């Protein structure tokens, strides 16, 4: 187990390195640059800025410089948010995104798993049909539409909930709902189909024939086997949400990382792009390792290679 | 034979029983039914699936709405009608009321007009057309690239397979949005330059922006298609008919084209259909970021985004495109699910 985790972490570090390298070169190969679009800046000032951030050096040198400071944990100065380091920006924005994402995923799990089970147990009845229709709609509605509609109905029309920022607990309700709709719907469908699959297995019939109580069958046999696909889905999804959802953050004016990432790309804030990309890749890889370990805990038959 | 009178006590057999059977009788004894091939079998199952059939009807209606109706609609999508700005649905401007009073017939603005005085119903149709075209074309491109890549990777095997799959892994790890924005920037100037050249007038008409969206989608989203095709081909290539084809001297290209890809056609259809809603989804998301199809060509995403600013006063301008996107994604998903139930051999029964 320990050996496996070490191996996976080593592979993960290598993948992050590859992703960072590729991002670095793709980003620099695209025509334009961080200070090109600013018309107010004179050529001399542009030159000075390029020199200050080391952008006048050959690409190879820039790459080596960036990588060596990255190894020391320093992601450099942001090119556009003057005077702030990327580490500071991430340290400030990441907790906000993590908090909303964490609550959203918790809500999705608490609603999705029971709804999926309920629906599988009542297969073909009207309750099942209603849940399936709702879940399919939840998957079909893009997040920017659901966010805007929520904002319009509860924020502006009924004036029930605050529309801006995250200063009070009630302000979390709308962004979390908007973030949770898709995962809830997805988990419900996943849970339903995998539970239906498990319920047809022989060991379920055996358990029932032995006279095991239905509650015990559900928790000990059915759920434990059926939850694996959900675990696989939730890991990477949580990692992606934690690094911020641009749309929801923009609509509800939340100071999260997703907005900074997108504006960094459009502004060509190279260091911030690198910082957030590396962060995202690291989180996805960590999430996948955790998912694998959880697999082993949930289903001891699985052998980790 | 009638003269052979039967003695009731005789053990003579009934002669009629030994007459040759007529053709009708023969026909009734044939137990073979019409042979059912892959397509008939799948289509029969698909026809039985009510949800899928309803979705198909809705898809056809949306296609008519998007491709046929704008041609007969009395207003153009970029036609600005003066003094008719910001009309509510079915409202007429004073000028139009005056014309009606004179006895002229004025076509109603079913969904009102936007802030530049453009009829919103026809803009919604054009938006649907753009979104639907992006969805369909992008999916076809994804199918072509993904299926070829996956099939080659699986068929070649060995280190070629390993390298090709590592490339997809890496593409998978880099955030989509980063590549989309950067590619969009990189493609903008060359595409505009090309569209100025003679002979590329169609590009001007379509908008270089839209073409860059096709290219971006095609370059990014073939990865999952390639993986699915690869896993199918890996099992298919061990089958006897592939060995037989190779023994007969068929080239690798022919085996891939004629045998391997045709045999995973069910998966290809299903995955392509399910790619359509996700392309529509991504395009609307890009438009929301301001990276989608350029003005004056509307897409559903850009219509919804434009309406966000004025959603307090004109909520219908937001609701109509929002509903359209959701319905489109919904019906394509449902139809794709139906196709999968019908054509995926693993899900039979």
Through-space distance between the first and last CA atoms of chain B, rounded to whole angstroms? 56
* φ/ψ (deg, to 5) at B330: -60, -50
User: What was the pLDDT predicted at B57?
Assistant: 95
Using 50, 70 and 90 to split pLDDT, how confident is the model at B348? Answer: very low
What is the nearest CA distance from A155 to chain B, expressed in angstroms?
Answer: 11
Mean confidence (pLDDT) of chain A: 85
User: Cα(A149)–Cα(A174) distance, rounded to whole angstroms?
Assistant: 10
Residue A243: closest C-alpha in chain B: B175
Using 50, 70 and 90 to split pLDDT, how confident is the model at B253? Answer: confident
pLDDT in tens, A231-255: 888 988 888 888 778 888 888 888 8
What is the nearest CA distance from B305 to chain A, expressed in angstroms?
Answer: 9
User: Cα(A247)–Cα(B308) distance, rounded to whole angstroms?
Assistant: 13
Substitution target in B54, B131, B178 with the highest count of A β-carbons within 10 Å is: B178
Q: List alpha helices for B102-237, DSSP H.
A: 120-156, 158-173, 176-196, 201-206, 208-220, 222-236
* φ/ψ (deg, to 5) at B119: -60, 125
Residues of B in contact with A19 (CB under 8 A): 170, 173-174
- Stretch B170-174: mean pLDDT, rounded? 78
User: Which of B285, B330, B333 lies nearest to residue A144, judging by beta carbons?
Assistant: B285
Residue B177's closest CA among A274, A282, A265, A253?
A265
* φ/ψ (deg, to 5) at B325: -60, -50
Q: Looking at the complex, does the CB of residue A281 fall below 8 Å from at least one CB of chain B?
A: yes
Q: What token pair was written down for B210?
A: 């839209």
8 A C-beta contact, residue B87 and residue B97: no
pLDDT in tens, A282-294: 888 888 888 888 8
Residues of B in contact with A262 (CB under 8 A): 177, 181, 289
User: Cα(B330)–Cα(B336) distance, rounded to whole angstroms?
Assistant: 10
Taking CB atoms and an 8 Å limit, are B329 and A29 in contact across chains? Answer: no
Residues of A in contact with B169 (CB under 8 A): 15
Burial of B195 (0-12, 13-18, 19+ CB in 10 A): middle
How many Cα atoms are found within 13 Å in the side-chain-facing hemisphere of B118? Answer: 16
Q: What token pair was written down for A224?
A: 């434990």
Enumerate the β-bridge partners of residue B113.
Answer: B119
Residue A25: closest C-alpha in chain B: B182
Burial of A19 (0-12, 13-18, 19+ CB in 10 A): buried
**pLDDT at residue B347 greater than cutoff 70:** no
Residues of B in contact with A30 (CB under 8 A): 182-183, 185-186
User: Cα(A225)–Cα(A204) distance, rounded to whole angstroms?
Assistant: 11
Q: Looking at the complex, does the CB of residue A196 fall below 8 Å from at least one CB of chain B?
A: no
Burial of A263 (0-12, 13-18, 19+ CB in 10 A): middle
Q: Looking at the complex, does the CB of residue A22 fall below 8 Å from at least one CB of chain B?
A: yes
Mean confidence (pLDDT) of chain B: 81
Cα angle A89, A93, A96; round to 5: 170
Q: List alpha helices for A53-85, DSSP H.
A: 59-71
Taking CB atoms and an 8 Å limit, are B334 and A136 in contact across chains? Answer: yes
Through-space distance between the first and last CA atoms of chain A, rounded to whole angstroms? 9
User: Cα(A52)–Cα(A45) distance, rounded to whole angstroms?
Assistant: 10
- Stretch A187-207: mean pLDDT, rounded? 89
Residue A224's closest CA among A295, A152, A280?
A295
Taking CB atoms and an 8 Å limit, are A145 and B326 in contact across chains? Answer: yes
Of the listed ranges A73-87, B160-174, B287-301, the one predicted with least confidence: B287-301
Enumerate the β-bridge partners of residue A85.
Answer: A77
**pLDDT at residue B349 greater than cutoff 50:** no
- The overall longest dimension of chain B from CA atoms, in Å, is 109
pLDDT in tens, B12-43: 777 777 888 888 887 777 777 777 777 888 88
User: Which of A15, A140, A273 lies nearest to residue B173, judging by beta carbons?
Assistant: A15
Residues of B in contact with A136 (CB under 8 A): 330, 333-334
> Using DSSP, how many helices (H) and how many strands (E) does chain A show?
14, 0
Substitution target in A145, A250, A281 with the highest count of B β-carbons within 10 Å is: A145
What is the nearest CA distance from B46 to chain A, expressed in angstroms?
Answer: 19
- Residue with structure tokens 């998957």? A139
User: What was the pLDDT predicted at B53?
Assistant: 92
8 A C-beta contact, residue B160 and residue B149: no
Give the A:B interface size as CB pairs under 8 Å.
92
Residues in Cβ contact with A204 at an 8 Å cutoff, skipping those fewer than 6 apart? A198, A217, A221, A222
Residue B315: closest C-alpha in chain A: A152
């Amino acid at each position: 187990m320990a050996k496996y985790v070490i191996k996976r972490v080593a592979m993960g570090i290598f993948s992050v390195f590859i992703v960072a390298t590729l991002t670095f070169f793709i980003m620099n190969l695209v025509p334009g640059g961080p200070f090109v679009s600013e018309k107010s800046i004179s050529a001399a000032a542009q030159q000075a800025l390029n020199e200050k951030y080391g952008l006048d050096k050959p690409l190879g040198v820039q790459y080596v410089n960036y990588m060596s400071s990255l190894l020391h944990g320093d992601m450099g100065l942001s090119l556009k948010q003057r005077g702030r380091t990327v580490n500071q920006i991430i340290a400030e924005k990441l907790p906000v995104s993590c908090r909303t994402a964490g609550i959203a995923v918790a809500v999705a799990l608490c609603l999705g798993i029971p709804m999926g089970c309920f629906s599988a147990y009542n297969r073909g009845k009207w309750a099942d049909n209603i849940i399936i229709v709702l879940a399919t709609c939840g998957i079909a509605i893009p997040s920017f539409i659901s966010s805007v509609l929520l904002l319009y109905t509860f924020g502006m029309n009924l004036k029930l909930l605050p529309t801006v920022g995250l200063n009070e607990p009630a302000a979390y309700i709308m962004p979390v709902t908007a973030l949770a709709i898709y995962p809830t719907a997805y988990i419900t469908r996943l849970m339903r189909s995998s539970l239906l699959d498990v319920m047809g297995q022989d060991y379920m019939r055996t358990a029932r024939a032995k006279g095991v109580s239905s509650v015990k069958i559900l928790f000990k046999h059915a759920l434990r086997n059926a939850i694996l696909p959900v675990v696989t889905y939730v890991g990477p999804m949580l990692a992606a949400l934690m690094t911020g959802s641009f749309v929801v953050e923009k609509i509800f004016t939340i100071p999260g990382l997703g907005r900074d990432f997108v504006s960094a790309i459009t502004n060509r804030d190279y260091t911030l792009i690198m910082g957030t990309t590396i962060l995202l890749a690291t989180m996805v890889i960590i999430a996948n390792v955790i998912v694998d370990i959880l697999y082993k805990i949930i289903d001891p038959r699985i052998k980790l290679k | 034979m009638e003269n052979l009178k039967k003695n009731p006590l005789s053990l003579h057999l009934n002669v009629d029983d030994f007459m040759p059977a007529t053709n009708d009788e023969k026909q009734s004894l044939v137990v073979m039914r019409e042979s059912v091939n892959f397509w008939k079998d799948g289509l029969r199952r698909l026809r039985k699936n009510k949800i899928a059939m309803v979705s198909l009807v809705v898809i056809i209606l949306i296609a008519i709405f998007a491709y046929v109706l704008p041609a007969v609609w009395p207003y153009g999508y970029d036609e600005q009608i003066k003094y008719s700005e910001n009309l509510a649905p079915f409202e007429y401007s004073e000028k139009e009321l005056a014309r009606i009073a004179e006895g002229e017939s004025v076509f109603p603005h079913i969904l009102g007009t936007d802030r530049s005085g453009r009829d919103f119903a026809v803009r919604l149709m054009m938006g649907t057309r753009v979104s639907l075209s992006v969805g369909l074309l992008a999916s076809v491109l994804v199918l072509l690239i993904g299926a070829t890549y996956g099939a080659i990777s699986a068929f070649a095997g060995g280190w070629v397979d390993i390298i090709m799959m590592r490339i997809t892994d890496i593409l998978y790890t880099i955030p989509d949005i980063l590549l989309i924005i950067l590619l969009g920037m990189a493609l903008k100037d060359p595409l505009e330059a090309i569209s100025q050249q003679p002979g590329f007038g169609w590009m001007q008409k379509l908008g270089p922006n839209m073409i860059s969206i096709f290219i971006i989608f095609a370059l990014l989203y073939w990865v999952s298609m390639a993986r699915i095709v690869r896993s199918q081909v890996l099992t298919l290539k061990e089958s006897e008919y592939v060995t037989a084809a190779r023994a007969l001297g068929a080239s690798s290209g022919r085996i891939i084209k004629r045998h391997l890809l045709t045999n995973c056609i069910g998966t290809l259809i299903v995955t392509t259909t399910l790619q359509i809603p996700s392309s529509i989804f991504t395009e609307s998301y890009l438009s929301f970021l301001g990276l989608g199809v350029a003005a004056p060509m509307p897409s559903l995403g850009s219509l919804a985004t434009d309406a966000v600013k004025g959603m307090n006063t004109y909520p219908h301008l937001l609701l109509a495109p929002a509903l359209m996107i959701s319905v489109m994604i919904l019906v394509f998903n449902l139809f794709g699910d139906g196709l999968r139930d019908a054509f995926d051999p693993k899900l039979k029964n």
